[in-house]
Amino acid sequence: MKILVPVDFSGNSLHAAEQAILWADKNAAELCFLYVSKVLSPTGSVMYGVAVNSEEEHLAARTGELEKEVGAVFAALGMQPDVQRHTYKAVNNAVSSTGIIEFARTWHADLIVMGNKGEADLAKRLFGSTTTAVLDKADIPVCTIPRGSIKPNWENIAIGTDLVTVESDIAVAAPFISRLYNRFDLVYVSPVFPERVSMEHFSPEKLCEALGKQSGLAFNWVNIVTEAENDITGGLQRYVETRNPDLLVMFYTRRNWFEKLIDASYTKEMLLNNQVAILSFKRAPKVAAV
């Protein structure tokens, strides 16, 4: 497995790097730590307080700084970088999220791990953040790590579902989440209006049994009932606060700007508000987003 870890030298990104190092060590995964520079043509000028003569010199300098900063994270964990599995790269791109996505595709990454402030300010709601932009553009899973959520092992894992596409969602996620653990809470928030899945004859036990046969994993049904209809984010937040999961798995659909205005993405809502690591899988377009 190949894990890409964007680092912008902030505490949030280095915090995410720490989690990625711990997880990769247990799974013998490759790690690439990436810095995206927004200075495209540094020639004979001073940038970041350092005189540079060429783009190559600038990127080499930033790569060296990246290796030093991440090396300090390894040292704090009492670990040594493995030159065979751990690499460092600086690239130029005017848009950070685009630089991350382009490199992820070139490097054939399986997962992107990013830091997340968990702030729900108006600016991020209107204009987004690098993390949410990567979520929009990525074709591979994206895991966001808020500060204070480092876990040496991910064993208490929840999967958010709207039940509409639960079978296909689990089929997509199973090859990856099976590396983490073998038992998961399946979390459904109600009431929902209009009902997308009729609950009159619905059997949680039969669903969990069917998903277990499909994936080889075990599922525990959890229904969170909220006071207001369609309070999906509130229900998931309550689950997080009461159950304290290590990781929340969600499924995301990229939508156009008009859809974003009239119908919030619950995955993005959790990214902006929550203090739990979130692993996001992208659905095909035109499928309802959780």
Q: What is the pLDDT of residue 283?
A: 85
**Distance in angstroms (rounded) separating the CA atoms of residues 70 and 230:** 42
Q: What is the pLDDT of residue 150?
A: 84
Q: What is the pLDDT of residue 80?
A: 95
Q: 229-234, long-range: CB within 8 Å, 24+ apart, which pairs?
A: 229/191, 229/192, 229/193, 230/191, 230/192, 230/193, 231/189, 232/162, 232/189, 232/192, 232/266, 232/269, 232/290, 233/264, 233/266, 233/269, 233/270, 233/273, 234/189
Q: What is the pLDDT of residue 52?
A: 56
Q: What is the mean pLDDT of each run of 10 residues along the chain (290 residues)?
A: 95 93 93 88 50 78 96 96 96 93 97 78 51 89 88 91 95 94 96 88 96 97 95 92 94 61 62 79 60
Under DSSP, is residue 83 helix (H, G, I), strand (E, B) or coil? Answer: coil
Q: What is the pLDDT of residue 274?
A: 63
- The sign of the CA dihedral 91, 94, 96, 100 is negative
Q: Is 68 exposed, middle or buried (0-12, 13-18, 19+ CB in 10 A)?
A: exposed
Q: Buried b vs exposed e over 162-171: b needs ≥16 C-beta within 10 Å?
A: bbebbeebbe
- The sign of the CA dihedral 153, 155, 161, 165 is positive
What domains can you pick out in the chain, each with its CATH number?
2-146 (3.40.50.620), 157-282 (3.40.50.620)
Q: What is the pLDDT of residue 290?
A: 42
The residue to which tokens 């499928």 are assigned: 287
Q: Identify whether the C-beta of residue 154 lies closer than 8 Å to the C-beta of residue 18.
A: no
Q: Identify whether the C-beta of residue 190 lies closer than 8 Å to the C-beta of residue 234.
A: no
User: What is the biggest distance separating any 2 CA atoms in the chain, rounded to whole angstroms?
Assistant: 71
Under DSSP, is residue 282 helix (H, G, I), strand (E, B) or coil? Answer: strand
Q: What is the pLDDT of residue 252?
A: 84
**Distance in angstroms (rounded) separating the CA atoms of residues 165 and 172:** 11
- Indicate the residue type of 140: I
Dig out the tokens for 97 from the structure.
Answer: 């999220």
